[in-house]
Structure 1
Amino acid sequence: MTITQLHYVLAVAEHKNFTLAAEKCFVTQPTLSMQIQKLEEELDVQIFDRGKKPIQLTDVGLKIVTQAKNIVNESGRIKDIVDQQKGFIGGDFRVGIIPTVMPTLLPMFMANFINRYPKVNLIIEERPTEELIKMIKNGQLDAAIAATPLDEETIKEIVLYYEPFVAYVPENNAAYQKKEFDVEDLEANLNNILLLQDGHCFRNNVLNICRAASLPSGNHFQIESGSFETMVRLVDEGLGMTLLPYLHTLDMNEKSKAKLRQFKEPKPSREVSLIYSKKELKLHIIEALRSTISGVVRGAIAFQNVAISSPLNRAK
């Protein structure tokens, strides 16, 4: 039994296709198939049911894959230990970022990080929080950037910054006349709030600020969008108000900024953190990423008196 064989098994289990798995492993399909067959012969079991389309794991195959993930992940940590001992900061580092953070944060720190740590190859994926947690637990990501706290026992969280929410209000809304918002103003406008679609933790953040499990259906339309830009355009048309993360408002033009309303202190905010498995050993790269992001964001967000809103769905 070899680590390479286990890599091949995990690739087939993930892609449910021998040809695609071989492409991802950068080997020929016959080579991959032969190695998996050798492993099955050695163990005297069938790991995959090849008679089904797509290919499925057998009952024993499911258990083998679970153990194979642990073995492959732990074997990879040997190089991490050596790198840390030598003080080497480099190699592949897989990072996931939630969609409501990636467009604003990534351009702020990426060039800086590349210049400071040219030997690190950042592999970045945009995923919702639930997928990031799963991928970290499965060893598919080294770290992620997400709204916290997440209450996950196996995951460590390092706070990067606190980002206030800002109301974006159309001129035809009575709340437009206010210079500052408080939570009661938001709750009084529940019928007019436009939110991102289900699955976005930012939606949960806002609902938790309003102390509401869902929004009332007072509008004459329903919309599901994952884009802040869509929400902003709808507000510009006078179809409701919305909440935006503070960093998203920095590049707005002056006409749009006139529709922004800050909240009174303590400002409702979200906590954005670097998260990773408690078993993670690439701590030297994690620290490099943390220090770079914190240094860049510190100049953009100077708020201290904040009230953190949970990204978790309270209705569950």
Structure 2
Amino acid sequence: MTITQLQYVLAVAEHQNFTKAAQKVFVTQPTLSMQIQKLEDELQVQIFDRRKKPIQLTETGRKIVVQARNIVNESDRIQDIVDQQKGFIGGAFRLGIIPTVMPTLLPMFLNNFIKKYPKVKLKIEELNTEAIIERLKEGHLDAAIAATPLELEGIKEQVLYYEPFVAYIPKGHRLDSEEKLDVESLDLDDMLLLEDGHCFKDGIINLCKASKNSDADRFQLESGSFETLIKLADEGLGMTLLPYLHTLDINEAGKKNLKMFKEPVPAREVSLIYNKSELKMQIIEALRTSISGVIKGAIAFQNVKIISPLSPKKNTNEKAGL
């Protein structure tokens, strides 16, 4: 049994096709098939059911893939140890970022990061939280930036910053005259939300569930972008909530419609998340340092309440003096 054979097995398990898997690992299809067959003969088990289209893992094959992924990850750690010992920060690094963080955070740190660490070859993907978790567990991402807490087995979370929720309330709205908002004033009936799949939407619903207006099944409109939500609000179709960093680029007219919440300000926790195997930690730490360096100047709120994207019970967790 070799590491290379296990890498071939993982490629076929991912692509469910021998030809595509061979292309992925840069060998010919006959070479890949022969090595996998050799492994199956050695183990005296069938890893793949080749009769099905697309190719499927057998019950035993599924267990082997889980262990193979662990072994391949651990073998990669040897190079990590060498790189860290040499102080080398470089190589390919796959980073996932959720859509509600990508457009605001990425421009803040990316240029400085690639100049400071030119040997790191970043591949950045915009993915929702569900896709990020799946790809992290399967080893297709090295790290990700997402709203937390997620509290998932095998995934570590390193908090980057706490980002307050800001209300966008157009003229003539029932809350227009309020200087600062109470969470209890929110009502999902006139709330414009992002479409399903965005964890920021889930955080808003959890926030509203904590208030007296907790009917999460009634809302008017959903959209895929904050820009659209703002335009809909300006048309008198309701109000919306925005992440604080997104409000920095709103035009002066739009800024007049922004309202902060009373303390403790509801906020989301944004973290760098990665597999517990801690591969490529030198790059992860470089990312954390780069982001922390720029974010401190942008967010300076002292008393916030963290709203979880997953469970309303997290609404009781307060972070003070941050």
Q: Residues 257-276 of structure 1 correspond to what in structure 2 (within 5 A)?
A: 257-276=255-274
Per-residue CA deviations over 1:41-100 (Å, capped at 9, x if unaligned) read 222322211111111112221122111111111111110011111111111122111111
The one-letter amino acid paired with 1:78 is I
Kindly state the Cα deviation for residue 28 of structure 1 after the two structures are TM-superposed: 2.2
1:143 counterpart residue number: 143
Q: Tell me if 1:217 matches 2:215.
A: no
Per-residue CA deviations over 1:160-193 (Å, capped at 9, x if unaligned) read 111111101121312122222121222xx33100
Q: Once structures 1 and 2 are overlaid, which stretch shifts more, 255-264 or 124-133?
A: 124-133
The one-letter amino acid paired with 1:93 is F
Distance change (3 Å), C-alpha of 1:76 and 1:218: closer
2:168 counterpart residue number: 168
Distance 1:37 1:216 in 2: 52
Percent of residue pairs identical: 69
Distance 1:214 1:129 in 2: 24
SS at structure 2 position matched to 1:256: helix
Q: Residues 1-316 of structure 1 correspond to what in structure 2 (within 5 A)?
A: 1-186=1-186, 189-211=187-209, 214-217=215-218, 219=220, 223-314=221-312
Distance change (3 Å), C-alpha of 1:100 and 1:145: same
Asked if 2 retains the 8 angstrom alpha-carbon contact of 1:182 and 1:264, the reply is: yes
Distance 2:43 2:268 in 1: 50
SS at structure 1 position matched to 2:175: helix
SS at structure 1 position matched to 2:223: coil
Distance 2:12 2:271 in 1: 33
Distance 1:54 1:216 in 2: 38
- State the aligned residue count: 310
Asked if 1 retains the 8 angstrom alpha-carbon contact of 2:146 and 2:271, the reply is: yes
Per-residue CA deviations over 1:257-314 (Å, capped at 9, x if unaligned) read 1111111222111111111223214222111111100111111111111111111144
Which 4+ stretches in 1 moved above 3 angstroms? none
Asked if 1 retains the 8 angstrom alpha-carbon contact of 2:180 and 2:261, the reply is: yes
SS at structure 2 position matched to 1:23: helix
The one-letter amino acid paired with 1:7 is Q
What RMSD over aligned residues (CA atoms) do the two structures have, in Å?
Answer: 1.8
Per-residue CA deviations over 1:190-236 (Å, capped at 9, x if unaligned) read 310011123321112112221256535264xxx44332122112112
Extract unaligned runs of 5+ from structure 2.
314-322
Per-residue CA deviations over 1:129-176 (Å, capped at 9, x if unaligned) read 233223223322221111111122432222111111110112131212
Q: Once structures 1 and 2 are overlaid, which stretch shifts more, 12-21 or 36-45?
A: 36-45
Distance 2:219 2:297 in 1: 40
SS at structure 1 position matched to 2:283: helix
Asked if 2 retains the 8 angstrom alpha-carbon contact of 1:81 and 1:281, the reply is: no
TM-score when scaled to structure 2?
A: 0.91
Distance 1:254 1:227 in 2: 20
Distance 1:67 1:156 in 2: 20
Q: Once structures 1 and 2 are overlaid, which stretch shifts more, 47-56 or 120-129?
A: 120-129
SS at structure 2 position matched to 1:166: strand
Asked if 2 retains the 8 angstrom alpha-carbon contact of 1:195 and 1:203, the reply is: yes
